Amino acid sequence: MRLILVALLAGLCAVSAVSVHSTNYAQKQKDVWRLFKYINQPSYYKDHVEIAHNYHLSKNVAAYSKPEVVEQFYKYWQYGKLLPRGEIFSVFHGEHLKQAVALFKLFYYANDYETFYTTAVWARNHINEGMFMYSLSVALIHRPDTYYFSLPPIYEIYPHYFYSTEVIKKAQYYKQMYSGQQGSEYNDKIIYANYSGHYLNLHPEQSLSYYMEDVGLNSFYYYYNLYYPFWMSGEEFNLKYDNRGEAFYYMYQQILARYYLERLSHGFGEIENFDWEVPFETGYYPSLCYPNGLHFPTRPNYAHLYEYFYNYGQKYGFNKYANSYSYVKDFERRIHDVIDSGYAHTESGQTVELFSHHGMNILGNLIEGNPDSPYYHYYGAFQVFARHLLGYSQQPLTYFKLHPSALEHFETSLRDPAFYQLYKKLLSYFIRYQANHKHYYNEHDLMYQGVEVKNVEFDSLVTYFDYFYADLSNAVYVTPQEFVQDSFKVQVAQQRLNHKPFTYKIYVNSDRETDAVVKVFLGPKYDEYGRFINLTDNWMNFVQFDHFVYKLKAGDNIISRDSHEIYNYMHDRTSYYELYQKAFGVHDQSHSFQFHHDQFWYGYPQRYMLPMGSRGGMTYQFYVMVSKQLPYKTHTTVPMIGSGMQYVDSYPMGYPFDRPVYWEQVFYDIPNSYFHEVKIYHEHHDHGYEQHLEHEATHYMV
């Protein structure tokens, strides 16, 4: 599921190994983390306060490679248009976004690391915290001199967006009770967090809340969107070689496929379809509150989305979001026209061919509504308005007082069931395109002469829940002294899905030595009623499980893979507190602190590699395909975002499930591929929450 693969990781490891020897790296990394602490308060570090007080952008214009970037930002500052600190920031509001991009450019175009850092420290105390954190994170990932720094886990920086209200309140309760007291009671409190399904019963699907509210899953989605921001120009910021439009399609296809697997293990079927005109069935109560005390907006069951209801009593004027329904309908119409006609046009009226080799990439850019779209203003930003509409947030009086819904933050989007329904609709556009214009794969396309997959074996696959610990200190407010001394700590523990380590083997016979690429997919076999799902209806439900290059020797090969080395997935990020301790614990700065590569990139959490099993075993199937290796053509040797170096091969993303399957028998017949049925079991511990889940699961089980 992760788009980055072996090549890049090898590259990153090399880079980090080099950097670790530079004395500066540890210091810089530490400096960067300090900026993320207690983000809802100003920084009280002396050095920060000094810089914030003394640094003047207008006197340092020459320190930025594009002076107009400083001018632009300075205008917002000078005319009092900047979102004040303490207000809620949303990247999906045009005005907030404009300012965030201006700030990002300031960071990005700083001439050297020192200027970048000074600008960041200045902004830390002057700029809205949400905007600061967002722009800084994107800049860290995209600047060539900082991309290998690790970002602290977002659920620890912004716990309000990841843990429900009662958890946050409890942390604050401890802080008020014990603050100022010395001794063991003060520190190291552990709060046991639950998911909203623990006490809410809005909808049967609430039983999936452990999945939709998982902190790792939600931060994966957040990080992906830092790497490929929807507003970022590929030309200006060097994303060109990543096929971001195609990657956009693939990312959502994978998220939906994976969610469907989890649904099946609870007896739920396909993700619902919806019409904009019919009241939206699935309500949502987020159980989250903003640091300023406002609760996240809720959506009732059967919400009316069309304009008369949605917009009732709203101001007429600048607020285009109040007209989201009209925008969504217009953009949808235009997207359909492009797909069926096969061409888009640019602002100057030139046509862009969509039935071409890069068609999928162009369509992805167009639908995402990023600046690489053929004509951004015409094809528009469908998802921005759709999120606003479905999120059901109230219209604000001014953009200073926004009250965004869960769908209007990347940190919380995956929590709302409407997210999956919306992106299912969006994926249906791509499928319509693929069905219109793609040639169906036949045996000549898929066959790899002389290579045969003879067998596939998996160890037993067992899921279970275990406790995951994270630092929750940022959920409270601290005194300047506590801030500097780091003297208040509270932890949160929450049950998350996991699985026992396993290995699997692929037995391949080859008639010669050859460079092959191996792909492994995990998909459903039966629907929620136990009916076999034909591949013609199932191809879009396969999750890419593993993907690697392998040198086959002539004769029999046994490829053995360990669940830990499956590179499509990421391990949990190291806790902020731990990272921080490590950095400060290192007296000799040249002494290494090694990061696992997982600290640098984003990926689907390793814990969720397997969908939850059941006591009697849930049936799924793996599909293995061995193909000729076609290396991806990269254009640079720097292993960073935009270089294309993360791609294992140059097949279309998701190949051979990158398009509808028509000749399904071919997939069963060609010798270089193999279907393997497995059962996934779930092991129970004596825990109330799990028993509740088990009850749901067995209830629906066929």
Ligand X SMILES: *[C@@H]1O[C@H](CO)[C@@H](O)[C@H](O)[C@H]1NC(C)=O
Binding site for ligand X (CB under 6 A): 166-167, 170, 191-194, 198, 534, 536, 664, 688
Phi/psi for 179 (5° steps) reads -60, 135
- Closest distance to ligand X from the beta carbon of 492 (Å): 8
Task: Please state whether beta strands 618-628 and 543-552 pair in parallel, antiparallel, or not at all (unpaired).
Answer: unpaired
494 versus 568: smaller Cβ distance to ligand X = 494
| Calpha distance 272→638 (Å, rounded) | 43
174 versus 274: smaller Cβ distance to ligand X = 174
- Closest distance to ligand X from the beta carbon of 535 (Å): 7
Task: Please state whether beta strands 673-682 and 618-628 pair in parallel, antiparallel, or not at all (unpaired).
Answer: antiparallel
- Closest distance to ligand X from the beta carbon of 442 (Å): 15
Q: List CB contacts of 432: < 8 A, sequence separation 6 or more.
A: 336, 339, 340
198 versus 334: smaller Cβ distance to ligand X = 198
169 versus 315: smaller Cβ distance to ligand X = 169
58 versus 534: smaller Cβ distance to ligand X = 534
- Closest distance to ligand X from the beta carbon of 583 (Å): 30
Q: List CB contacts of 611: < 8 A, sequence separation 6 or more.
A: 258, 261, 262, 264, 265, 463, 618, 620, 680
Between the alpha carbon of residue 273 and those of residues 280, 318, 420, 423, 581, the distances in Å are: 10, 32, 10, 10, 48
- Closest distance to ligand X from the beta carbon of 529 (Å): 16
Give just the sign of the alpha carbon dihedral 326, 328, 333, 337. positive
**Residue 103 burial (CB count, 10 A):** 28
317 versus 688: smaller Cβ distance to ligand X = 688
- The letter for the amino acid at 154 is I
Task: Report DSSP state, residue 196.
Answer: G
- Closest distance to ligand X from the beta carbon of 522 (Å): 20
Whether 409 contacts 161, CB under 8 Å:
yes
CB-based closest residue to ligand X: 534
170 versus 388: smaller Cβ distance to ligand X = 170
Q: Within 13 Å of residue 413, how many CA atoms lie on the same side as its CB?
A: 27
- Closest distance to ligand X from the beta carbon of 192 (Å): 5
| Calpha distance 177→476 (Å, rounded) | 12
- Closest distance to ligand X from the beta carbon of 667 (Å): 11
Task: Please state whether beta strands 604-605 and 569-570 pair in parallel, antiparallel, or not at all (unpaired).
Answer: parallel
197 versus 611: smaller Cβ distance to ligand X = 197
- Closest distance to ligand X from the beta carbon of 605 (Å): 22
The residue count for the chain? 702
- Closest distance to ligand X from the beta carbon of 290 (Å): 18
| Calpha distance 600→367 (Å, rounded) | 28
113 versus 173: smaller Cβ distance to ligand X = 173
- Would you state the structure tokens that stand for residue 203, as one six-digit string? 């909808």
- Closest distance to ligand X from the beta carbon of 258 (Å): 24
Nearest Cα neighbor of 477 from 292, 700, 670, 281 is 292
524 versus 603: smaller Cβ distance to ligand X = 524
- Would you state the structure tokens that stand for residue 613, as one six-digit string? 């099993």
24 versus 536: smaller Cβ distance to ligand X = 536
Burial tier of 494 (Cβ tally within 10 Å: 0-12, 13-18, 19+): buried
Whether 5 contacts 644, CB under 8 Å:
no
279 versus 660: smaller Cβ distance to ligand X = 660
- Closest distance to ligand X from the beta carbon of 268 (Å): 23
- Closest distance to ligand X from the beta carbon of 415 (Å): 17
Nearest Cα neighbor of 86 from 395, 400, 399 is 400
- Closest distance to ligand X from the beta carbon of 687 (Å): 9
Task: Please state whether beta strands 503-510 and 514-524 pair in parallel, antiparallel, or not at all (unpaired).
Answer: unpaired
Between the alpha carbon of residue 628 and those of residues 2, 50, 71, 517, the distances in Å are: 21, 59, 52, 6
- Residue whose structure tokens are 């010669």: 512
Whether 178 contacts 186, CB under 8 Å:
yes
- Would you state the structure tokens that stand for residue 521, as one six-digit string? 């997919």
DSSP string spanning 584-599?
A: HH-SSTTS--PPPGGG
349 versus 688: smaller Cβ distance to ligand X = 688
83 versus 666: smaller Cβ distance to ligand X = 666
23 versus 536: smaller Cβ distance to ligand X = 536
- Closest distance to ligand X from the beta carbon of 153 (Å): 20
Between the alpha carbon of residue 450 and those of residues 454, 624, 651, the distances in Å are: 12, 16, 20
